[in-house]
Amino acid sequence: MTKKVDISYQDAITELEQILNDIQGNQISVDTLTDSVARASELIKYCKEKLKSTETQIKGIFEDEAN
């Protein structure tokens, strides 16, 4: 079960780092490993999308300025 991503970019990064830390520190049981990895990959996807949309928006702003 993965939570729906509805958090800020910064919070997503923080959560991602926590998950990675837990995995690397062997603090995650195999029972929850799949969920954790799924969550991590979801967070990464979310962050990348957020970056992409920011990029598009900012490009839009600069293009508006140029016109």
Partner 1 sequence: METFSLFQLNEYIRRVIALNFDDTIWINAEISQVNYSRGNYYLELIEKEEGSDKIKAKASANLWYKKSLFLRKKFKDIFDSILDTGNEIRVKVKVEFNERYGFSLIIEDLDASYTLGKAELVKQQILNKLTAENVLHLNGQLELPISIQKIAIVSSETAAGYKDFMSHLDTNSFGYKYETELFQSSMQGQAVEKELIAALDEIENGIKNYDCIVIIRGGGAKLDLAAFDNYAIAKRIAFAKLPVITGIGHDIDSSIADIVSHTDLKTPTAVADFIIERSLTFESRLLDYGLKIQIAFKEIMASNNSYLDLMQEQVKSSSRSLVQQNHQFFNEALIKIENFTSNKISRSIALLDSYAKQIELLSPENVMKRGFSIARQNGKAIRSKKDLDAAAFIETEFIDGIIKSKIQK
Interface positions with partner 1 (CB under 8 A): 13, 16-17, 19-20, 23-24, 26, 28, 30, 33, 36-37, 40-41, 44, 47-48, 51, 54-55, 58, 62, 65
Give whichever of 6 and 65 is closer to partner 1, judged by the CB atom. 65
Shortest distance, CB of residue 11 to partner 1, whole angstroms? 14
Shortest distance, CB of residue 36 to partner 1, whole angstroms? 7
Query: Using H for helix, E for strand and C for coil, what is the string for the chain?
Result: CCCCCCCCHHHHHHHHHHHHHHHHCCCCCHHHHHHHHHHHHHHHHHHHHHHHHHHHHHHHHHHHHHC
